[in-house]
Amino acid sequence: MRGQRLLGGACGGVILTQHHVLTAAHCLFRIINDTTILRASKVVIRVGSTYNDRGGSKHETSKTLVHEDYKYSESKDNDVAVLVLSTSVSNYRSSSVQPAAIPPGGYVVPDNASVVAVGWGRTNMKCMKSSPIGLRLVGLRKVDRDTCAARYPRFSYNNMLCAGLLGVGGAGTCKGDSGGPLVYNGVVVGVTSFAMRCADSFYPHVFTRVSSYTNWINNTLRQNQVEVVHKLSHNTAVAADVSSMMLLAFVTSIWIMYYEIIYF
């Protein structure tokens, strides 16, 4: 006999238009028993709230548009996707919901620059505690390419950006933060992708470099006959404190459901 088992996961994302959300491609897949890869069967996002379990409004997706060169089981590269909402965000461009600003192609974040990662991920170094309900921010430093490549020699960094607190540790992204933004001067420059360990002092966190995908993002939106996402903004830098929440109205929480076929 054959049946289905429902599995779930959580990620973050950013609002591009009232119909579209940017997230990490790997959020839409799940591997079972090291061999079976499941693609998301249902994706629900919550916008307009700094809580991932209440407030704002919820929207299901009609399409999940994964970068065509992303290979879940083979590489961490091209870890980017756009979610198409089945209903438009009604409170779009309000105090609680704003579109994100993304950089133009080729935009470079200076080494050692202050950046901020945002999400609802777990909050201790071993990822053992439950995820927070409220949105959290953490201040990090942009890590230069050579250092990041030395720490992660298996990966190519043309389309990636690294940040962390090297030599210090104790803070950073963790499980549940995937797909959320890395912000520099009010601009979403990265999408949380992976790390060796949470809040590690040696291994930096790795983000998809948004400026490598600006054209892909805008082409994806054009093909869906919607407005082009906003380019580089002139917002002031986002500080990692509670008052910054008002500047993060483009952040969304995402709940992903997968159906596994089981035999019994």
**Of the candidates 190, 213, 251, 218, the residue with the CA atom closest to the CA atom of residue 14:** 251
**Of the candidates 262, 259, 248, the residue with the CA atom closest to the CA atom of residue 9:** 259
What is the C-alpha separation between 248 and 12, in angstroms, rounded?
A: 12
Amino acid at residue number 104: P
Strands 36-39 and 29-32: antiparallel
Catalytic residue, from 79, 177, 193, 211: name it: 79
Catalytic residue, from 26, 59, 67, 205: name it: 26
Residue 178 annotated among the catalytic residues of the structure: yes
What is the C-alpha separation between 72 and 76, in angstroms, rounded?
A: 7
Length of the chain: 264
What is the C-alpha separation between 73 and 35, in angstroms, rounded?
A: 9
Count of H helices and E strands in the chain? 2, 14
Question: Side-chain half-sphere of 243: how many Cα atoms within 13 Å?
Answer: 3
Sign of torsion, CA 145 151 154 155?
negative
Q: SS3 of 204, please?
A: coil
Q: DSSP assignment, residue 73?
A: T
Neighbours of 75 (CB within 10 A): 13
Catalytic residue, from 49, 114, 131, 178: name it: 178
Residue 26 annotated among the catalytic residues of the structure: yes
Residue 177 annotated among the catalytic residues of the structure: no
Q: Which residues are catalytic?
A: 26, 79, 178
